[in-house]
Amino acid sequence: RVDMSEFMEKFSVSRLVGAPPGYVGYDEGGQLTEKVRRKPYCVLLLDEIEKAHPDVFNILLQVMDEGRLTDSLGRRVDFKNTIIIMTSNVGSRQLKEFGKGIGFGLPDQNAMNEYSKGVINKAISKTFSPEFLNRIDDIIFFESLTREAIDKIIDIELKPFKTRVESLGYQFELSQAARDFLAKESYDVQFGARPLKRAIQRHLENELAELLLSKRLSSLHILADYDEAMKKIVMKSI
């Protein structure tokens, strides 16, 4: 895995193939070439490729076209047995700015996904050069999360929280209304379900901590429910 945000500046590009002769680290090889030279049969992940300096793409063009690259020591590194995967967030900002109701709960999920692909394709065309895009075998779009997917993610993220609660001797239950509120609060067009952990901490962990400190629990069974009047999740013993 190579984090391409570390190669945003022009001077950092040389680190991929190694420092020039006379510079510190010249004999160490490049961060990209040395990894592939040692393990030619590998999967190479270039994370957040859009953040890299334009000169990085010139290096990658040779790799993607000829399957080889020469490092600073003059060694030819073979990439022909390497699978290259690049990730990018290009288009996510445009999707959020367009604001066409992107998110779960739409009547036509397929139409929403097609719209998203169109926006992302335009953003990709503006960000990357045609010669770079023509050397990519395939582009995979991640579709917007459905409500069912959000529910599964909530269950996954709730497991460690429930485990901690049960270790204190309590049983924890989340109402459907509270689950709906969490799903709505935790989904973001640009960041997907990443805000979910913060939502669980803010709406569940903090609420539970206050409840335990107040010593207002009358039983060992705790219910987290959504209060429509207060517009928040409240916890109570049942």
pTM above 0.75, yes or no: no
d(CA 134, CA 150): 35
Identify the helix (H) or strand (E) that includes residue 84.
strand 82-86
pLDDT at 189: 61
Residue with the larger pLDDT of the pair 97 and 51? 51
Average pLDDT over residues 37-42: 94
Residues forming beta bridges with residue 227, ordered by sequence position:
232
- Tell me the CA end-to-end span of the chain in Å, nearest whole number: 49
- Does the pLDDT of residue 153 top 60, yes or no? yes
The whole-angstrom separation of Cα 10 and Cα 227 is: 54
pLDDT in tens, 80-125: 999 999 999 898 877 776 554 444 444 566 777 788 888 899 999 9
